[in-house]
Structure 1
Amino acid sequence: MLQSKIKTIFLSISAIILAGSMIAYPKESFEASIRGLNMWWEIVFPSLLPFFIVSEMLIGFGVVKFIGVLLEPLMRPLFRVPGVGGFVWAMGMASGFPAGAKLTTRLRQEGQLTQIEAERLVSFTNSSNPLFIFGAVAVGFFHNPHLGVILALAHYLGNICVGLMMRFYGRETPDKAKDKQGKFILRSAFSALHQTRINDNRPIGKLLGDAVSSSIQTLLMVGGFIILFSVINKLLFHLHITAALAKGFDLALSSLSFPDMLSIPFISGLFEITMGSDLTSRVGDATLLQQAIITSFILGFSGFSVQAQVASILAQTDIRFKPFFFARIAQGIFASSFAFILWKPIYVRFYQTEQPSNAIPVSFFEEGTWMHTLYHKIIELGPIITILSLSLYVLLLYFQSVRTPKKP
């Protein structure tokens, strides 16, 4: 009872301080809101919406169940999750935060995952997509596409390590893979695909409309969190709370021979990965290796902004947030460790000297290439896609309200 009252007082005081700070710093709050809105408006919404809609349709048509049966022999022994986890992992890696949480929640609602399996799966299927790591962080902030190789390898290897670690989480669940499929696994997969499509008896138009509505609702929530945490991060800086918290990390960074100037970017990155990565790239006293290690931790930890988005999505089910939070800390540690381990054998060997013939290719991420052009095209066309999608969403809501019979 006492703990509940303390929590109520703490949350109330925090909300009052936040409201007062926005009144005291209206210009800074407005600029931070615009910055968060631009990020959502130009990049997050147009890049995530197609993945969300297609994912919903694949689930409805039974394709995800088909993939799940095929990947069961791989995902079950490695990560102790059903084969559908392979689809969630791939889509989460391709589209970025918070796609893994969205798809895990959807599969949990359909009963394709148990609670423990869902908590294992969501812990390692939320990651930054390659376009963000190479386009925004490596090229946009560091102006060094080669650094993206280290950041991406560290990030995704950290993901795998978290998945292997989380396989020991929770009690053993019934092994669904014991269905003796043998060489007839392909036939079983097709059977599961057909049965799932039959069970979901929605017409294609209805399914597509539901996919669009659900996806846009999720992205509106994501946009709200991005704007909110952009403002919170800015206010914490102006209230000197970030600097006060950074002093607590100065000793830890000094023990690792890291410059104290990295503490403020590190704290900022704990709240929001984009700002933290940007500030880290501007610390001139740090070596590129030190910046890569800090940035890898920030990308792995994901920031409280992304974690709040995931917590909001998971709240729709019985999936607990605590395992996901501890998995983020673990991935931050794994990713920063891999950045340190891979620095000499990859970055120093291939990119700090004349590149040998077997150098790792990153030319398609450099300026003028199709990946670089794609990133800037998303920024250029993003607002148009967002406006058209929101207009379509409003029309869907209108027609849905018209068709719904009014209660007498």
Structure 2
Amino acid sequence: MARTILYAAISILLVAAIIRQPDEAFQASLQGLTIWWNIVFPGLLPFLVLFELIAAFGLIHGFGVLLKPIMRGLFKLPGEAALPLLLGWLSGHQAGAEATAALRRDNLITRSEGQRLLALSHMPNPLFMLVVIGAGFLHRPELGLFIAIIVWLSALCTALWISLFGERRAKSLSKDQKTSMLDIAADAIVTSRDRDGRSFGKALGDAVSFGVQKLLIVGGFMIFAAVVARLALPLIVHALPNGIAELLLPALLESHIGAYAAAVWQGPGVSTAVSAAAIAAVLAWSGISALLQAGYAITGTDLKLMPLIWVKLLHTIHAAVLALLLWKPVQTVITLLPSQLTDATEAMLQDGVTWSRPSNAYEAVTALGLPSIWPYTLTAAAVLAIMFAAIRVISPRGKR
């Protein structure tokens, strides 16, 4: 009852704030939409479609058999967990969460394994770190690479911690000892493919429809978070030291705007190293918006959101500490890179955009001329087409 009243009161306050500041609300929603269209939609759609096709053709089970020793040894997870990990690290939060939820619905992982896998696969989009942050926000592609390395290393450190407390399943794999792994994988693919039964065209259509529907929901979460962050700023700006509110609020709610807030953060003692550490911490946290997206993805399963939040907090601490500790060694290595390489990368990624520093993070999206990931969808589409062809070739048809 109390929670319902609280939610109702918050909703009324948000409506009142939008009525009082319609222009601010509109600009914030437009910024959230711009981020979603330029970064999230082209970055996520190919991977969501690909996962659905891989699931339809039974390859998840085949990969699970082949990768079982590696996943068990490193993360105490079944082999099927490799695919959500790969999708989360290559595409972003939503792809990892959706793939994890799909495995849990099919009972391919236990609840505790699902909780660990959800945390491990909940990662920022690498193209966002390398392209948008490195070349767009910071105008130094090598710093985007540094931040990406820190986020990945801190994720592995976090995975090490949580895997130490993970459950071990009994090993009853006598069949593996008598039959080759490839034969077992082929049998698993055939069984799963026959159980699904959809044609390639039907599976592709369902995959595209599923991906677009999920991305529309993601866009709604992002726009809502951007509006809340903008409207709530006047309430806390006077309660915190200079510049902290402009960083803390967007970082707490939405990682894309929060990352830019950390990039332009200015204040006493705020060096490039501190700014990079703040960006890494924001990306590791991912924002309440991305956490709610994961919560929506796991709806209908017995997976819970609160364990993910605790793991993301641990990931945030690891990212900030590692960034400060490794700043000087990594910068020494980066200086050895050919200057022509970084200059050419920056010129390619900027695509002729003239940049001027906005006064705050909320003006960043439109003033910056946000670098778009859409040009890279051509490459993703080509890779996807190759994967489609490979699926048709290697997918066993079974006995008719």
Aligned-pair Cα RMSD in Å: 2.6
Distance 1:243 1:275, change over 3 A: farther
Give the counterpart of 1:274 among 250, 253, 256. 256
Give the counterpart of 1:219 among 215, 219, 222. 215
Q: Distance in 1 between matches of 2:93 and 2:341?
A: 23
User: In the alignment, residue 29 of structure 1 is paired with which amino acid?
Assistant: A
Q: 1:127 matched to which residue of 2?
A: 123
User: In the alignment, residue 26 of structure 1 is paired with which amino acid?
Assistant: P
1:320 CA displacement: 1.0
Q: Distance in 1 between matches of 2:173 and 2:271?
A: 49
Q: 1:290 matched to which residue of 2?
A: 274
Unaligned runs of 5+ in 2: 352-369, 378-400
Cα shift readout 1:249-270 (whole Å, capped 9, x = no counterpart): x6xxxxxxxxx63453133211
Q: Distance in 1 between matches of 2:184 and 2:73?
A: 19
Q: 2:236 matched to which residue of 1?
A: 241
Q: Distance in 2 between matches of 1:204 and 1:65?
A: 18
Give the counterpart of 1:350 among 312, 316, 333. 333
User: In the alignment, residue 288 of structure 1 is paired with which amino acid?
Assistant: T
Distance 1:189 1:242, change over 3 A: farther
1:180 CA displacement: 3.1
User: In the alignment, residue 260 of structure 2 is paired with which amino acid?
Assistant: D
Give the counterpart of 1:53 among 49, 53, 69. 49
Q: Identical aligned pairs, as a percentage?
A: 31
Q: Distance in 2 between matches of 1:104 and 1:268?
A: 27
Matched, 1:115 2:111: yes
1:177 CA displacement: 5.8
Q: 1:93 matched to which residue of 2?
A: 89
Distance 1:362 1:304, change over 3 A: farther
Give the counterpart of 2:76 among 64, 77, 80. 80
Number of residue-to-residue matches in the alignment: 358
Give the counterpart of 2:3 among 2, 7, 11. 7
Q: Distance in 2 between matches of 1:177 and 1:97?
A: 33
Q: TM-score, normalised by structure 2?
A: 0.82
Unaligned runs of 5+ in 1: 251-259, 383-408
Q: Distance in 2 between matches of 1:172 and 1:199?
A: 30
Q: TM-score, normalised by structure 1?
A: 0.81
Classify the secondary structure of the residue corresponding to 2:347.
Answer: coil
Q: Distance in 2 between matches of 1:329 and 1:319?
A: 18
Q: Contact 1:94/1:129 (CA < 8 Å) preserved in 2?
A: yes
Matched, 1:140 2:136: yes
Q: 1:363 matched to which residue of 2?
A: 342
Matched, 1:301 2:285: yes
1:376 CA displacement: 5.0
Q: Distance in 1 between matches of 2:350 and 2:80?
A: 32
Q: 1:394 matched to which residue of 2?
A: none
Q: Distance in 2 between matches of 1:27 and 1:171?
A: 52
Give the counterpart of 1:228 among 211, 224, 227. 224
Q: Distance in 1 between matches of 2:371 and 2:124?
A: 18
Q: Contact 2:233/2:245 (CA < 8 Å) preserved in 1?
A: no
Distance 1:176 1:88, change over 3 A: farther
